[in-house]
Amino acid sequence: MKKSFSHKITVALLGITLLSSCKDLFNEPTIQSNPNAVTDVDVATLLSGTLLGVSMLHEDTDVRIGAIWAGQLNGLARQHQGYADYIVSSQNFTWNPLYPAASQARLIQIKADAVGDKWTKGVGQVLEALLIAKATDLYGDVPYSQAFDDVKYPTPVFDKQADVYTAIQTTLDNAIQNLSAPAGLAFASQDFIYGGSVAKWKAAANTLKARLYLHTGEYAKAVSSAASGISSTAGDALIPHGTSQGVDYNQNYDFFRVNRAGDTGFDGAYLPALMQSRIGSANTKTNETALYNHYFKLGITATGSLDPNTTDGAFTSTAPHPIITYYENQLIIAEAQARLGDTAKALAALNSVRSGLATGYINGKTLSATGRQYDPYVLADFSPTGLANPTKAATVQTALLYEIIAQRYIFFLMQYEAFNDVRRLEKATPLVQLPIPLYSGSKKPERFIYPQGEVNTNPNVPKPLPDQFQKIPIFQ
């Protein structure tokens, strides 16, 4: 990691190589005359650029690998076929731009402190937490405590994953405190996620806390944080997209339709099979045909192929992409309450998601009214003979958990939280899992491999190097 976190090069590197869609990002006179003088960039410009980096990192190759390894998507050709065969090496992974973007988020906080701007500092802390959470969720032990000072720590230590989680929760607590301040500087014009809404960023911070507590099995804390989390779909953190290639395309559209059509698809994946089984079930309260058609479309790349719907569904060029949402917040409450034994509260949270889906809303788009039905469940629907108990689970708690987990799996398509769920559920109690088959071999991938660049430059990389089948500590 040596020399990869310098504040003086981070913004220029990330902006020049990755953030060209923000055309005014580097019009600052000091940058034009000296690209290494980016510490002179104002905090608003930093915020805009960092939001772009965070957005890209929620639609990137790592997310596709996570979707493949969760059984949602299949790799059919070239490099992505290798991912489906679970064949990877340290050459397949990189921490650029993940850590550079996180470094920008930290620099936002430093600059905000310099002008007494608690609101923008709070947003910077939320962005930092989002990125470090992604790093530790995919890799386990990662640098954090020494990650942002390459002069003092040119080869930062790898913090234990449990310590990283604790530190992220503290970062989010501080973010919530800063976002609760009575005043701060306005940043609406730089904030394309929430338009400068401090209240929405604060709610998102609470939902992120709840997500992380769910990962660690601290269910009461997850419920408590989610209670202050995103309270409606109006609070969804969605990445906006447009119609200009190389500028604001949805990255899934760019990959699925423009640059690598046919490299991935849904033929042989578990997700469409799961949804078809639900559509064909005796559950008269649910019809997910509209959502199925929103996700999948036949014959875009080849006759009969089951492809991502880049025509009029979830993966058009203009489709917003989720970072963290109200549906996730409610599904966290639903699962946590079910595991705590309060099935009534769990059901209420699940039904709130179904109520939203019944209107057709999902991630900023609207499902067709045809084939769309999400009537509210009652607890009797999860009895051993209930219509929402396809596995004939013996208890309402287990059947309800299965439905919540299935709904999360379906909703998290092309969000790396699905890969987190698959691994997390291997240890959560009571044990409830989806029967996701392997694509290849006899072992499921459990983690990403530390990047070769880090292996070459940082002697603190864990040894022996874990392979893709070794569980990360938090899910052991």
Which residues on adjacent β-strands are paired with residue 286? 374
Contact 387, 396 (CB under 8 A): no
Angle between helices 43-56 and 98-114 (to 10 degrees): 160
Can you tell me the distance from the alpha carbon of 22 to that of 42, in angstroms, rounded to the nearest whole number? 15
Q: Which amino acid is at 441?
A: G
Which residues on adjacent β-strands are paired with residue 306? 298
Measure Cα distances from 166 to 135, 212, 231, 326 in Å. 14, 10, 25, 24
Can you tell me the distance from the alpha carbon of 280 to that of 368, in angstroms, rounded to the nearest whole number? 19
Which tokens go with 110? 């430093």
Which tokens go with 383? 């009895």
- Residue by residue, DSSP assigns 365-411 as EE--STT-EEPPP-GGGGSTT-TT-TT--SSHHHHHHHHHHHHHHHH
Contact 307, 297 (CB under 8 A): yes
Of 254, 251, 279, 252, the residue nearest 266 (C-alpha) = 252
Contact 1, 159 (CB under 8 A): no
Can you tell me the distance from the alpha carbon of 195 to that of 445, in angstroms, rounded to the nearest whole number? 38
- C-beta neighbour count of 163 within 10 angstroms: 13
Strands (E) in 68-222, as ranges, are: 74-75
Helix (H, G, I), strand (E, B) or coil at 395: coil
- C-beta neighbour count of 438 within 10 angstroms: 12
Q: Which amino acid is at 363?
A: N
Helix (H, G, I), strand (E, B) or coil at 212: helix
Q: What is the pTM of this model?
A: 0.93
Which tokens go with 469? 């089948």
Helices (H) and strands (E) in the chain — how many of each?
18, 10
pLDDT (tens, 9 = 90+) of the chain, 476 residues, equals 543 333 333 333 344 334 333 333 323 333 333 333 345 688 988 999 999 999 999 999 999 999 999 999 999 999 999 999 999 999 999 999 999 999 999 999 999 999 999 999 999 999 999 999 999 999 999 999 999 999 999 999 999 999 999 999 999 999 999 999 998 889 999 999 999 999 999 999 999 999 999 999 999 999 999 999 999 999 999 999 999 998 999 999 999 999 999 999 999 999 999 999 999 999 999 999 999 999 999 999 999 999 999 999 999 999 999 999 999 999 999 999 999 999 999 999 999 999 999 999 999 999 999 999 999 999 999 999 999 999 999 999 999 999 999 999 999 999 999 999 999 999 999 999 999 999 999 999 999 999 999 999 999 999 999 999 999 999 99
Contacts of 86 (CB under 8 A, 6+ apart): 69, 439, 440, 441, 443, 444, 445, 468, 469
